[in-house]
Amino acid sequence: MWHHSHRRACLLGIACMSMVLPAQAEWALAPSASQVGVTITERTASDTVAHRHRLRGLDGQIADDGTLRLPLRLSQLEVLDRFDELPAWLAGLADKPLLTLSANVDTSRLDALTPGSELVENVVFQAQGQQAPVRLRFSRLDEESIRVTQAEPLSLDAREVRSDPVGRSVLALLGYDDIRNAIPVSLDARLVRVAESTAPP
């Protein structure tokens, strides 16, 4: 139904959904080292201008059964820092999960990685009854951490972002009118091992 790059990327768009995090986790994203980069290319009368934004502080977890849940919030968009006061409709949504991506990850394969080695896996993300495979690279940094990046280019379709009311409103708030349909996305995240004693009861 979707073309390949669109199918993989559109689940990263803004939509309304919330899910409960698992009770225990083997691995968790380190918010200070986990972010998604988005490049929006604006068309002007005489040229095109690329605007780069970040969705920072990713805080997903991989439960002991291998289930990854990654909640995304508007407050993670660094561009919102430029506003002294957010519009009421946006302030009310800022800290609520607008989209929670879920996927299954083979943690035994992550555990088998040795420092300096890497693994490329197709991870199928799901949200709102839709699913999309994303090819990810897991690079073992040391015994307690793994870097996660995309193994091939990803992009959002601007038409899908505009079709969502919140996505459309955010683009308008940022002043974007005429933009290219392809919105490149980059992932750079850090998984850290969660000690059993610190996992929630």
pLDDT in tens, 21-30: 434 558 999 9
Amino acid type, 109: R
Q: What are phi and psi of 167, to 5 degrees?
A: -60, -45
Q: Where are the alpha helices (DSSP H) in 51-176?
A: 88-91, 107-112, 158-163, 165-173
Angle at 11 between CA 117 and CA 71, to 5 degrees: 75
pLDDT in tens, 168-196: 877 877 788 889 889 898 999 999 998 75
User: HSE-up of 61 (CA within 13 Å, CB side)?
Assistant: 15
Distance (Å, whole) CA 59 – CA 29: 5
- pLDDT interval class at 155 (50, 70, 90): confident
Nearest to 90 by CA among 177, 14, 180, 162: 14
